[in-house]
Structure 1
Amino acid sequence: MIINSASAPPPTASAPAVRAPHRALADALGLIAVALGPSLWLSVVQFAALFGPAPAPLTRDAGTVLVAVSITAGALWLALLVRVRHCPGSFRPRLTAGAAAVLALWALADRGILPGLGGDYRIAEALLCLWLVSEVLHRHGITPASLPKASTTGRRWRWAAPVVVGVAALVLVLLGSGISGLWHAYGPGPVTSQDQISLLRITSTPQFISRAVWAGVVEELALTAAPVLLLRAAGAPRWQWVALPVGLRIVIHLYLGTPAIVYGLVGVAMVVLVVRYGRALPLAAGHALADWPMTQLPSSVGPLVAAGVVLAAQVGLFRLEKSLRPDPTEPGFLARWWTNGGSR
């Protein structure tokens, strides 16, 4: 079908379009900096502390400044994206700016930077990150309707795919936690002398639940799904959208010491899930749910036992997913992925 370009309506300023790879990379790095910049900095500082104590101002003052800058920058970026997307004079940009300001003030008070709530629950940061990821993806022409989907049809796929992705993410995080715990106990160093909950300064069940939700959002949406979707849609080389989320996932777990390497393997598997299924929110949900056994079971063996139980269910889910394909005999996904440069 040929469309006469002369008669086609001119594009509007708010119409999303896939952007160049360098713009996609810049926005992916911006998302990571806003969502995880302070955590990346603190993880590197804590890793360096395994070889010798760092000056207190380096960890305390610099971390506070980075948190304040990242939260403020995220709120301003969100307001700007919505303003650009909507026509001048619209009420929605003003409403968004107000909502972003409220979330930013809530987040700053939650972190203790402003007087107020305190407690370091990070719910406001999770909401801000989720909203910002959605707007950045829309800016690049990536909407839920345009996301890559597995080659399946039928109503059953609508619930099967998210469940498969969520449970797979849950299994992967549990395996990563369990293997990391075994490495911590028996593997080569340097490793931290504290458990993960103590290092993250989590002291109550509500704080643990909220921090698990925050971790799922920032690690699986801002660090993994968004960069992969942005860079693939812009035609960036495969090594960029694999190395970026995988490498930074290792960095953000460096506070554990050498066991952080395990999370690189988890990161590779998460990238495969994003490319295969095109689902982001189930990754975050699975990650958040997987953190629960960390406090309910022994640090090294517990997550592995839980992962084994859930893995049995995952095998059944993958079989179900295969049965829902139009052609269950189609070539394996990984074989197609590595032979055609990651395209579908």
Structure 2
Amino acid sequence: MTGTLERTWAGAPAWRLLLSAGGLLAVGCGGSLAACVVHLGGLYGLAETSEAWHRVDVVQAGAAAVAGGWLCWRVLRRTGLPYGQLSPRAAGLGAAAVVCAGASVWTAVPSADPTVWEPVPFAVTLTWLAWEVTRSHGLRLQKQIRLADAAERTRWGQVAVLAAIATAVGGVASTLLTRVLPWAADSSVLPVMQDDQLTVLGIDSLSALGAGAVMVVAVEDVVVVAATIALLRAARRPVWQIYALVCVVEVLLHGYMGAAAVGMAPFAAGRIWLYLRFGYLTPLMAGHGAYDVVHTLLMELPPLARVVMMLPVLAALVWVEWHTESQPPAPVKDDRPQAGPESATAAPDGGSATPDPS
């Protein structure tokens, strides 16, 4: 499979790349996996005690502290704050990192009056951390997008639509499993969640939905898909290992569904393929987040109303596809320098081996 992710430096040993990938997964998914363990225990008849949820809060607070400290360390190393002359830009980045780290830890600590926006600082910190960690290994989380290229803008939109479709496939598969498994298997062996997804996740308002979408996109798209795939590919891991690891992590993150979480494997596999094929992160985030928000809002409506509301969206997508296919893209002027002794050599994985100037 030909990848499109860009690599700017090939000097990191494989063990460092794998260690970074494991660290990002542990920090990003630790709190969610701890919560899934409590939910899954409830499906098997164990009591969801306040002590169990307190342990989940401790895990999340620890993950936030590690993520914040790691982010500050990476920013300090990149900007050289402890050494040399202090530039305004470096000082601003260092201050922003400290603020993000402090806010994520502060909101992760259990309080008597929690708010629905508490996951947002951690999501911002996690996204920035993933960018800093991959950058430190000479990797980019997203292929460069030329906004002046109409064909590339169209491709960005198509990837976003395909990401939404992959999310929908996973949602439909897991929903079908919640209906079929209680009838086909012993519920004491393969239990599934009894309540709807919103109730299980504690989403009871639009603000909670927005905060949850930000957190989900940061964890599942930035860390689990983009950063993990970029680091594993740079470490020369085979593609089947990438698919296996990311699919298993995604299924575990949806463990609150019980055995029906297996239905999220196609959701993970589709997004892996899109990222390996196109190298775009932002359309994955847009398609995933938009589908989650729209689908959640439609869940409150009768089935017929959902179909009626989706028809204009489908009609718009068909029109965009027909319109873009009927007009050939404008040619893009290639102003890159010709190959020569001073040009950048190609990286082994097909990207640019030019060192990152910043």
Query: Which TM class, normalised by the smaller chain length?
Result: 0.7 to 0.9
Equivalent-residue separation in structure 2 for 1:246 and 1:70 (angstroms): 22
Higher relative contact order (CA 8 A, sep 6+): 2
Q: CA deviation at 1:238?
A: 2.0
The answer as to 2:124 corresponding to 1:127 is: yes
Equivalent-residue separation in structure 1 for 2:202 and 2:160 (angstroms): 27
Q: Percent identity?
A: 28
How has the CA–CA distance of structure 1 residues 55 and 182 changed in structure 2, closer, same or farther, with 3 Å as cutoff? Answer: closer
Equivalent-residue separation in structure 1 for 2:233 and 2:264 (angstroms): 22
Equivalent-residue separation in structure 1 for 2:55 and 2:350 (angstroms): 41
Aligned to 1:336: none
Q: CA deviation at 1:271?
A: 0.5
Which has the larger displacement, 82-91 or 226-235? 82-91
- Partner letter of residue 119 of structure 2? R
Secondary structure in structure 1 of the residue aligned to 2:193: coil
How has the CA–CA distance of structure 1 residues 109 and 154 changed in structure 2, closer, same or farther, with 3 Å as cutoff? Answer: closer
Aligned to 2:69: 76
Aligned to 1:140: 137
- Partner letter of residue 247 of structure 2? V
Aligned to 1:34: 27
Aligned to 2:344: none
In the alignment of these two chains, the number of paired residues is: 312
How has the CA–CA distance of structure 1 residues 94 and 36 changed in structure 2, closer, same or farther, with 3 Å as cutoff? Answer: farther
Which has the larger displacement, 119-128 or 197-206? 119-128
Equivalent-residue separation in structure 2 for 1:246 and 1:321 (angstroms): 33
Aligned to 2:166: 172
Q: Could you state the TM-score of these two structures normalised by the residue count of structure 1?
A: 0.78
1:191-224 deviation line (CA, Å, top 9, x unaligned): 1111111111112111111211221121011111
Contact 1:213 1:284 in 2 (8 A): no
Equivalent-residue separation in structure 2 for 1:292 and 1:213 (angstroms): 10
The answer as to 2:262 corresponding to 1:269 is: no
Structure 2: gaps spanning 5 or more residues? 1-7, 183-189, 332-348, 352-358
1:259-301 deviation line (CA, Å, top 9, x unaligned): 1111111101110000011011211121111112333334896
How has the CA–CA distance of structure 1 residues 62 and 222 changed in structure 2, closer, same or farther, with 3 Å as cutoff? Answer: same
Equivalent-residue separation in structure 1 for 2:321 and 2:51 (angstroms): 47
Give the RMSD, CA atoms, in angstroms: 3.5
Equivalent-residue separation in structure 1 for 2:224 and 2:24 (angstroms): 8
Contact 1:47 1:255 in 2 (8 A): yes
Contact 2:147 2:153 in 1 (8 A): no
How has the CA–CA distance of structure 1 residues 116 and 107 changed in structure 2, closer, same or farther, with 3 Å as cutoff? Answer: farther
Structure 1: gaps spanning 5 or more residues? 1-14, 327-341
Contact 1:178 1:304 in 2 (8 A): no
Superposition pairs for residues 15-26 of structure 1, below 5 Å?
17-26=10-19
How has the CA–CA distance of structure 1 residues 55 and 256 changed in structure 2, closer, same or farther, with 3 Å as cutoff? Answer: closer
Q: CA deviation at 1:68?
A: 0.9
